[in-house]
A and B are shown apart, each in its own frame.
Chain A
Amino acid sequence: MLNTMIEIQNVTKTYYTGDVESQVLKGISFTIKNGEFVAIMGPSGSGKSTLMHILGALDTPTSGAYSLDGQDVSKLSEDELADIRKNKIGFVFQSFNLLPRTTVLRNVMLPLVYAGIEGEERKQKAETALQAAGLDKDHFGHFSNQLSGGQVQRVAIARALVNNPALILADEPTGNLDTKTGEIVLATFQKLNAEQGRTIILITHENEVAEHADRIIYIRDGVILSDTKTHAKRTIK
């Protein structure tokens, strides 16, 4: 039986620039169950980035309710949101965002530094996450500029995994990669979803990328246009 991981109800987000008011999200509601692999798709300007920020507890909605893993996160303070991000969410970014001049292992250990996990346990968790993300042990001591794009993104996935989050949020994770490397990264997500039962949300504007997920939520102009199961899920041999 799958539990509800994410429940958002009638979420809106309005930005004010001076006197000009622009509503980016105009009432969005959906539920994501534990262990689902969902793609949120939409062209640029559709509001998917804003939705990602709200789902990732980087921002709060103007109105509406958002419950993550049974906890209401729609009206938290900045530091409370930081706690949610620390304990429940792992981010994978388009531009990787690894620390320069820092080894792969230390990059992956970074979330554990803030989570207060120390010593040998910290190292073990990081190594386990790197292996789960499919990175060779030889690369653990390398710096990020010594790795290929695909390897760098797998380090970033390991970093998202390391603190065992309830939700992995990937924002255009293949945007800076060539098609072949992108496929490998998407396969990594599929594997994590299938084998470890991770809940993954993939934000993208590309149909081919979205089709790697089980379900696609299509957003346009701040409203959900469609929410469908993927008919022919793409898999990599």
Chain B
Amino acid sequence: MKIADVTQETCAAISSNKIRSGLTILGIIIGISSVIAMVAIGQGAQSSVQSSIESIGSNLIIVRPGAQRGPGFQVSSGRGSARTLTQADADAIMQEVSLAKAVAPEFSGRYQVTSKGKNTNTSITGATASYPGVKNIEIDHGSFISDQNILGLSKVAVLGPTARDDLFGEGAEDMVGQAIRINGMEFKVIGITVAKGGTGFGSQDDMIYIPLTSAQKFLAGENYVTTINVQAESSDSMSEIQQQITDLLLARHNITDAANPDFNIMNQADILATASSVTETFTILLAAIAGISLVVGGIGIMNMMLTTVTERTREIGLRKAIGAKRLDISLQFLIEAIALTFIGGAIGIVLGWAVAFGVEYFGFTQTKVTTASVLLAFGVSAAIGIVFGYYPARRAANLNPIEALRYE
């Protein structure tokens, strides 16, 4: 039996009972489209988390003070509370860690900020001139803090767009030159940053940047930093830099027990990997739930094929009497099942794509349909056709021609 003949037989068989074939195909359409849509939503979430992590900088290593726990102390005062990192540490990293491209120490804390008639409590970051480069911050109006500002302990401030809106009202655009009061001290606005959108690690839009030295002197009253941001030359050198910084700081802080340092180094790649593994699990979970409906669709195919084989018993008997072999018969029914799942698969992919597009279009969440998920869905639908079509096809092939011809 030739492919053209099998195809013709299959078309005739599928179109001979359009409603039943349609309903069976619908089962596969729902299965495949939900797998496509769910995987698209999962992968969309994954890429949005990734891009928000990448927005805080590239090839970033973050050094924070660790828990302070001196000898004999049983109580930890909490991670990040220690005042162990200093400006000198940051300078030492810049000088001695050769692979570090840029170092941006910062001091941050929450303080009350006021402007004319407005009042907000927001995050104040004492930053250096290298900060925007390391943390991917762009300036919309005015300029960022300069080295001059650092040296001169200037009372200047750069506002994030959210902080600007809170202090000057919605729609306030260029507020350069205005005055605000941080902790009672007057600072002059010299710039506004570009909005980055909310990130999972605190919005960088609700932020006020002032010179690091000013923050240390006027707000903290001490010469320590809360974070040292280090940018690596490339992602390959991340772990090497991390080791170098660890060694350097252990030596500078006179710590012999490497397992119990008074600082804590986070690597952006690690954060990314952790977040990715979470969203991957989420994607697999969604796909597994959708996969159940695909299996149900496959059972629908098997059910229909078994009914078809029973209905067409006499026809199978006749085909055998005129010389069809077992293979001819089983191929005919197997291909019918595969054709049903393929049609369902093709429509399901289009529908799943449309659902994913709709979800993104109406702003529920970001989605991403990948070639891999489309290929997977197609492969799975073909496999379902084979798996669920095999048993009915074998039943048809095994029919005894004499009994099949007598079947009423």
Spell out A's residues near B (CB within 8 Å).
53, 56, 58-59, 78-79, 82-83, 85-87, 90-91, 93, 97, 99, 101-102, 110-111, 113-116, 118, 159, 163
- Taking a contact as CB atoms under 8 Å apart, the answer to whether A53 and B402 are in contact is yes
Docked Cα-Cα span, A106 to B118, in Å, equals 87
Chain B neighbourhood of A79, CB < 8 A: 325-327
- Taking a contact as CB atoms under 8 Å apart, the answer to whether B322 and A111 are in contact is yes
- Taking a contact as CB atoms under 8 Å apart, the answer to whether B328 and A93 are in contact is no
Q: Would you list 21 pairs from A and B whose C-beta atoms are within 8 A, ordered by A residue?
A: A53-B402, A56-B321, A58-B402, A82-B323, A82-B324, A85-B320, A86-B324, A87-B323, A91-B322, A93-B405, A97-B314, A97-B405, A99-B315, A102-B12, A110-B322, A113-B1, A114-B322, A114-B324, A114-B328, A115-B323, A163-B323
Chain A neighbourhood of B16, CB < 8 A: 101
CB distance from B226 to the nearest CB of A (A): 80
Q: A93-B318, A97-B405 are in contact. List 4 more A-B contacts (CB 8 A).
A: A82-B324, A86-B323, A97-B317, A102-B12
Spell out B's residues near A (CB within 8 Å).
1-2, 5, 12, 16, 314-315, 317-328, 401-402, 405
Given contacts A102-B12, A116-B2, contact A91 B402 (CB under 8 A): no
Docked Cα-Cα span, A83 to B328, in Å, equals 12
Given contacts A58-B402, A113-B5, contact A101 B12 (CB under 8 A): yes
Docked Cα-Cα span, A83 to B1, in Å, equals 13
- Taking a contact as CB atoms under 8 Å apart, the answer to whether B323 and A83 are in contact is yes
Question: Chain B CB within 10 Å — which of A78, A86, A113 has the most?
Answer: A113
CB distance from A149 to the nearest CB of B (A): 17
- Taking a contact as CB atoms under 8 Å apart, the answer to whether A82 and B320 are in contact is yes
Chain B neighbourhood of A118, CB < 8 A: 2
Chain A neighbourhood of B12, CB < 8 A: 101-102
CB distance from A157 to the nearest CB of B (A): 13
Question: Chain A CB within 10 Å — which of B5, B315, B323 has the most?
Answer: B323
Chain B neighbourhood of A163, CB < 8 A: 323
Tell me the interface secondary structure of chain B in the complex: helix
CB distance from B127 to the nearest CB of A (A): 79
Chain B neighbourhood of A99, CB < 8 A: 315, 318
CB distance from A217 to the nearest CB of B (A): 21
Docked Cα-Cα span, A83 to B322, in Å, equals 9
CB distance from A161 to the nearest CB of B (A): 12
Docked Cα-Cα span, A171 to B6, in Å, equals 29
Give which listed residue, B314, B323, B325, contacts A111 with CB less than 8 A: B323
- Taking a contact as CB atoms under 8 Å apart, the answer to whether A85 and B323 are in contact is yes
- Taking a contact as CB atoms under 8 Å apart, the answer to whether B405 and A114 are in contact is no
Docked Cα-Cα span, A93 to B12, in Å, equals 24
Given contacts A85-B321, A91-B321, A101-B12, contact A78 B326 (CB under 8 A): yes
- Taking a contact as CB atoms under 8 Å apart, the answer to whether B325 and A59 are in contact is no
Chain A neighbourhood of B319, CB < 8 A: 110, 114
Docked Cα-Cα span, A46 to B367, in Å, equals 74
Docked Cα-Cα span, A99 to B324, in Å, equals 15
Chain B neighbourhood of A90, CB < 8 A: 322
CB distance from A173 to the nearest CB of B (A): 14
CB distance from A107 to the nearest CB of B (A): 10
Docked Cα-Cα span, A77 to B228, in Å, equals 83
Question: Chain A CB within 10 Å — which of B16, B317, B318, B322 has the most?
Answer: B322
Nearest-neighbor residue (CB-CB) of A115 within chain B:
B323
CB distance from B401 to the nearest CB of A (A): 5
Chain B neighbourhood of A78, CB < 8 A: 326
Docked Cα-Cα span, A111 to B323, in Å, equals 7
- Taking a contact as CB atoms under 8 Å apart, the answer to whether B326 and A85 are in contact is no
Chain A neighbourhood of B328, CB < 8 A: 114
Nearest-neighbor residue (CB-CB) of B314 within chain A:
A97
Give which listed residue, B314, B318, B325, contacts A82 with CB less than 8 A: B325
CB distance from B8 to the nearest CB of A (A): 9
Nearest-neighbor residue (CB-CB) of B397 within chain A:
A78
Chain B neighbourhood of A101, CB < 8 A: 12, 16
Docked Cα-Cα span, A58 to B400, in Å, equals 9
- Taking a contact as CB atoms under 8 Å apart, the answer to whether B323 and A58 are in contact is no
Given contacts A59-B402, A82-B323, A111-B323, contact A97 B318 (CB under 8 A): yes
Nearest-neighbor residue (CB-CB) of B320 within chain A:
A82
> Which 6 pairs across A and B sit closest by C-beta, in order of nearness?
A86-B323, A111-B322, A97-B318, A114-B323, A82-B325, A85-B323
